[in-house]
Structures are given as structure tokens and as C-alpha cells.
Homo-oligomer: A and B are copies of this chain.
């Protein structure tokens, strides 16, 4: 049987949207897929050596349930439906949401973004940074992980055109 192939274009640079590309890539690799990820646009943030700057942005996302990840069961069950209007006025709300999300994820035994990314590296997922975005946003390649490649959309199409699954995330 031929090896299945998956390509992911990772374009988002927030903590919450960092999960889907790394979870899908590491799962596919574990299932024997050959996987390539192309990081472009805001998604370049996910290649940074230091990922601690990633934040959840609950603004504009009323579908995000905000629950407290600690305390007794009844307390954890409350769905804090904080409206956008308030979110934008409370200083530090974004930081609060970010640390709540990190705690919830750790409490549930789900891997962190650096751990998921490391899983991808160990499973030989090929990671490509978009050269044009690096230049456009004025990034310094020394900010990024070692061992990645840089290329443009044309480079990526060589692989993407042969895939079984190609996702824009």
C-alpha cells in the first residue's frame, strides 16, 4: 500500500489555533502518513523557539466556553459567558484566558504546544517556513527553530499536489 500523505498550511498565530495543526500532524504521522507543514502568515509564530508568547484571543469567539479548570465540580461547571464588550475593557483579560486555557489543558493530560511540536519533529514531519512572510514581517531566522526549511508557495505545491489530505488552517 502506498504511503498516505498530508499537507497542512498553518496560518494562525494564537494559542488556541496552534493546537489543530500540531494535533492533526502528529496524529497523521503516528498513523504512518508522510506529513509536511507550511507555516505562513501569522502561522510563522508557531515556529518560534520560544512559544510562550502565544495567547488565546477569545475576542470575536463567542463559541469559546470559559470554564474554571480547578475547584469543585459544581464550580468548574459554570460557563462564564463573558461578553466581548467586557472582554475588551477588562485589562489583562486576554492573559487570564490564556492561563486558564493552559491550566485546563494540563489538568486534562493534553500535551502543550511545545510538546506537540516536538512530537511532530520526532515523527519526521517536515516543517517549512514561508520565506516571503519572514521578510515581510521582518522576522529574524534566529528566532525560529533549528532544522526547518524555508521556501515559497511554489516549493510547497510540489508536495501538496500529491497529497491525500491538504488542509488550510
A residues engaging B (CB < 8 A)?
4, 9, 11-14, 16, 19-20, 23-24, 27-28, 30-31, 33, 40-43, 45, 54-55, 57, 59-65, 67, 76-77, 83-85, 87-94, 104-105, 108, 110, 132, 135-139, 152-154, 157, 160-169
Contact B137 A65 (CB under 8 A): yes
Contact A165 B164 (CB under 8 A): no
Contact B67 A42 (CB under 8 A): no
Closest B residue to A46 using CB positions:
B63
Contact B90 A85 (CB under 8 A): yes
Closest B residue to A167 using CB positions:
B168
Contact B165 A160 (CB under 8 A): yes
Contact A12 B63 (CB under 8 A): yes
* Distance of A30 Cα from B4 Cα, bound (Å): 26
Q: Which of B11, B83, B94, B167 contacts A83 (CB 8 A)?
A: B94
Distance (whole angstroms) from the CB of A79 to the closest CB of chain B:
9
- Given the known inter-chain contacts A57-B62, A62-B55, please indicate yes or no for A20 contacting B168, CB distance below 8 A: yes
* Distance of A59 Cα from B161 Cα, bound (Å): 34
Distance (whole angstroms) from the CB of A49 to the closest CB of chain B:
15
Contact A41 B14 (CB under 8 A): no
Distance (whole angstroms) from the CB of A60 to the closest CB of chain B:
4
